[in-house]
């Protein structure tokens, strides 16, 4: 669910400001014969947390750099609050920017780093000090103003970089892999901090990342990019639950892919033959009878028949043999072999009451028809 805050319930001295809207129209960037971004069109709403997600070379960072003004589009337009900024230099766009390497000045203190954009804008010294102190409070680093970047941890440096990017109160903040250099636990903690900051400030965030978990955790909407183009746009739950194609299903989380042949339609549900059994898939697609299709199911949606509670909805069943069993803390990961030869992964939460499966054991698995996606 998207986070919506009613401005009428906010205190009068609240620091939230209205975020900028950003529109990309047929945006493209080529380097000679190489196309980095190919006709991207999308609209970012005011105050939204939008994430550009994709593998290396998908065009997400180039798109962000064009919004920032550090790259010039080959074709297309960029509008902020309805006004084109393609011909506008970066310093006039009034955009906050956080880079993966933080780009802090090593010879300046934390306070001087944060105050640098204010100094460049001619803000008086006393006002700079007040705004820097306010920014340090926002990122939970009060009292750190006299330290130097080398005296800070990676997570603290990241917070300083964010404070510097928001201290002049931009209406748009761009973040280029800002958590990529941090360890897993710190990265997960700071993901929640970024969500808190976004809710508190009210400005528009556009994040670039290749980390699927990061995108799912932090975003209002996700733009999945591949080979310079948009593959799918939607809320995190929509992208995960209803991937529009095989690339999105494989890139966002983990998926099982099973070949099948369409047998017919029943009440809007596709009926197919898969691994020697009949399975059903809830989909808006209407493939022809006899068509070869691919079904995808998330590993955590599969259940062993003797361990699942009744779904209360139509299910698919299949006989399998356990070919690999791996204990991974909170989950067990099983590699299963279907009678037709296809491999599947099942992820099951661990507990004292759940029986561990042995390699070579024959079992029956079950999953909801609604969790069977046609791609």
Instruction: Decide if 7-95+170-249 and 254-374 have a common fold.
Output: no
| CATH number 3.10.450.30 given to 7-95+170-249 | no
Could you tell me the two tokens for 117? 């954009």
For residues 3-7, average pLDDT: 36
For position 15, what pLDDT does the model report?
53
**What CA–CA distance (Å, rounded) separates 116 from 199?**
25
Q: Is the pLDDT of residue 130 over 70?
A: yes
Q: Are 260 and 334 in contact (CB under 8 A)?
A: no
For position 308, what pLDDT does the model report?
64
CATH number of this structure's domain 254-374: 2.40.50.140
For position 311, what pLDDT does the model report?
65
Cβ-Cβ contacts under 8 Å for 159 (sequence gap 6 or more): 139, 140, 141, 190, 193
Q: Is the pLDDT of residue 1 over 50?
A: no
For position 114, what pLDDT does the model report?
96
Tell me the pLDDT band of 117, cut-offs 50, 70 and 90. Answer: very high
- Domain range annotation of the chain: 7-95+170-249, 254-374
Tell me the pLDDT band of 312, cut-offs 50, 70 and 90. Answer: low
- 26 sits in the region (left: phi over 0; alpha: psi -120 to 50; else beta) called left
For position 11, what pLDDT does the model report?
35
**What CA–CA distance (Å, rounded) separates 211 from 215?**
6
Give tens-digit pLDDT for 46-105.
Answer: 999 999 999 999 999 999 999 999 999 999 999 999 999 999 999 899 999 998 888 899
**What CA–CA distance (Å, rounded) separates 115 from 123?**
9
For residues 295-311, average pLDDT: 84
């Amino acid at each position: 669910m998207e986070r919506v805050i009613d401005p009428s319930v906010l205190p009068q001295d609240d620091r939230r400001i209205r975020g900028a809207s950003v529109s990309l129209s047929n945006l493209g960037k080529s380097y000679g014969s190489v196309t980095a971004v190919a006709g991207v069109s999308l609209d970012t709403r005011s105050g939204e947390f939008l994430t550009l997600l994709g593998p290396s070379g998908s065009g997400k960072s180039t798109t962000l750099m064009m919004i920032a003004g550090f790259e010039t589009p080959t074709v297309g337009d960029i509008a902020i609050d309805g006004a084109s900024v393609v011909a506008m230099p970066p310093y006039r766009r009034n955009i906050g920017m956080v880079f993966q390497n933080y780009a802090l000045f090593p010879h300046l203190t934390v306070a001087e780093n944060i105050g640098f954009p204010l100094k460049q804008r001619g803000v008086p010294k006393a006002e700079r000090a007040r705004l820097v102190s306010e920014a340090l409070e926002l990122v939970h680093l009060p009292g750190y103003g006299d330290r130097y970047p080398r005296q800070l941890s990676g997570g603290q440096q990241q917070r300083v970089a964010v404070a510097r990017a928001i201290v002049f109160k931009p209406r748009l903040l761009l973040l280029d892999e800002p958590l990529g250099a941090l360890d897993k636990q710190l990265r997960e903690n700071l993901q929640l901090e970024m969500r808190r900051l976004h809710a508190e400030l009210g400005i528009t965030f556009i994040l670039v990342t290749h980390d699927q978990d990061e995108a799912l955790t932090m975003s209002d909407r996700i733009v999945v990019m591949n080979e310079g183009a948009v593959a799918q746009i939607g809320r995190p739950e929509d992208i995960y639950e209803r991937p529009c194609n095989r690339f999105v299903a494989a890139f966002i989380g983990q998926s099982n892919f099973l070949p099948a042949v369409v047998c017919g339609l029943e009440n809007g549900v596709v009926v197919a033959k898969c691994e020697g059994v009949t399975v059903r898939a809830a989909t808006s697609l209407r493939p022809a009878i006899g068509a070869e299709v691919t079904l995808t199911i998330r590993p955590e949606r599969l259940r062993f028949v003797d361990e699942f509670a009744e779904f209360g909805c139509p299910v698919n069943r299949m006989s399998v043999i356990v070919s690999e069993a791996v204990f991974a803390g909170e989950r067990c990961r099983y590699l299963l072999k279907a009678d037709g030869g296809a491999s599947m992964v099942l992820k099951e939460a661990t507990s004292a009451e759940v029986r561990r499966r042995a390699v070579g054991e024959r079992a029956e698995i079950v999953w909801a028809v609604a969790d069977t996606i046609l791609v």
